[in-house]
Amino acid sequence: MFYTKSFAKHFTTRFPGYGIAGIVLCLAAWMVSWSRIGPFYRYSFFPQWFGYILCVDALVRARHGTSLIQRMRWRYAGLFIVSSLFWWIFEFLNEAVKNWHYILDGPYTPFAYFVLASLSFSTVLPAVMETAELLWTHKPLRPRLPAGERGPRISLQTFILLEIVGLVCFILPWIFPRYCFGLVWFCLIFLLDPLNNFMGRKSIIAHLLMKDWHFGILPFASLTCGIFWEMWNFFALPKWQYTVPYIGFWKVFEMPLLGYSGYLPFALELFALYQFVLLLIGQEEDYLVF
């Protein structure tokens, strides 16, 4: 009992105030969204997820003593910028397969739609990475390859082969969208992760070569976020809906049950895209703990 009270006191002492603000913001935006309050409900997606991000970052800091916001400081804003750019890539890929579409609450000008969508998309990468860091604070879940090590690198022949696989995964959904729609969640992995590895950056391949299956915390983090995305989307407006061939049954919220599996490779694509951006700008440190 003494240990429990001591731990609780220690934890609450270390839990930053912005975490409490994040919880309040997230719950308030959730209520506004589902209750369709004012004109504010149409703008509730960003504050809801920003509150989630603040809350999870505070949890990580309380458990680990440091967090992404603390380590990155002003650079943290860059995660929101690149996240928005990332999701517009997926919007482009969706033009091939048309697996999701948006239900709006009224007409929007193209500029207003772009701004509101970009703001919403900006929360995706920070939310997944923060959730992965929270899972990392549990020692049994930590990847074996330390964050500061890049791990083994693939040969030139393997690099070329994987790039060809990535190109095939990119092209086929445009030719056979009804049968190959699932490949949009793998094409960027095969196109970018081998390049990251070959150029000496962090990569999924390095974890696989070391049989570091604990790197699965990243796909699990994305799935965790996916459950919240789909739940909070269900009664929201604007919202998204799915039209996925063959698996559009047994829906949990708007998402078909089997569709949740797409969140697993999606996390790996986010990681590969993030490392690729750092490669392009020549930044060595990525501030992640995994």
Strand partners, 252: 255
**Residue 134 CB-half CA count within 13 A:** 19
* Within-domain flag for 96: yes
Mean pLDDT of the chain: 95
Reduced to 3 states, what is the DSSP secondary structure of residue 27? helix
- Summarize the confidence of residues 263-288 as an average pLDDT: 96
Task: Report how far residue 124's alpha carbon sits from residue 225's, in angstroms, rounded to the nearest whole number.
Answer: 9
* Within-domain flag for 126: yes
pLDDT digits (tens, 9 = 90+) for 209-239: 999 999 999 999 999 999 999 999 999 999 9
* Within-domain flag for 43: no
* Within-domain flag for 287: no
The percentage of the chain sitting over the pLDDT mark of 90, rounded to a whole number, equals 93
Q: Does residue 11 carry a pLDDT above 80?
A: no
* Within-domain flag for 52: no
The count of structural domains within the chain is 1
Q: Does residue 70 carry a pLDDT above 70?
A: yes
- Summarize the confidence of residues 51-76 as an average pLDDT: 97
Token pair of 270 as six digits = 């986010």
Task: Report how far residue 153's alpha carbon sits from residue 210's, in angstroms, rounded to the nearest whole number.
Answer: 11
pLDDT digits (tens, 9 = 90+) for 135-151: 999 999 999 999 889 99
The percentage of the chain sitting over the pLDDT mark of 70, rounded to a whole number, equals 96
Q: Are the beta carbons of 135 and 63 closer than 8 angstroms?
A: no
Q: Supply the pTM of this predicted model.
A: 0.93
Mark out the alpha helices in the chain (DSSP H runs): 2-14, 17-35, 45-64, 68-72, 76-97, 110-121, 124-136, 156-175, 177-180, 187-198, 204-209, 217-234, 263-281
pLDDT digits (tens, 9 = 90+) for 181-195: 999 999 999 999 999
Strand partners, 240: 102
The reported pLDDT for the residue numbered 3 is 46
Q: Does residue 256 carry a pLDDT above 50?
A: yes
Q: What is the DSSP letter of 199?
A: T
* Within-domain flag for 7: no
The reported pLDDT for the residue numbered 125 is 98
Structural domain for 135, as ranges: 77-281
Q: Please tell me the least confidently modeled range out of 82-91, 144-153, 175-184.
A: 144-153
* Within-domain flag for 215: yes
The reported pLDDT for the residue numbered 135 is 97
pLDDT digits (tens, 9 = 90+) for 236-248: 999 999 999 999 9
* Within-domain flag for 112: yes
The reported pLDDT for the residue numbered 14 is 84
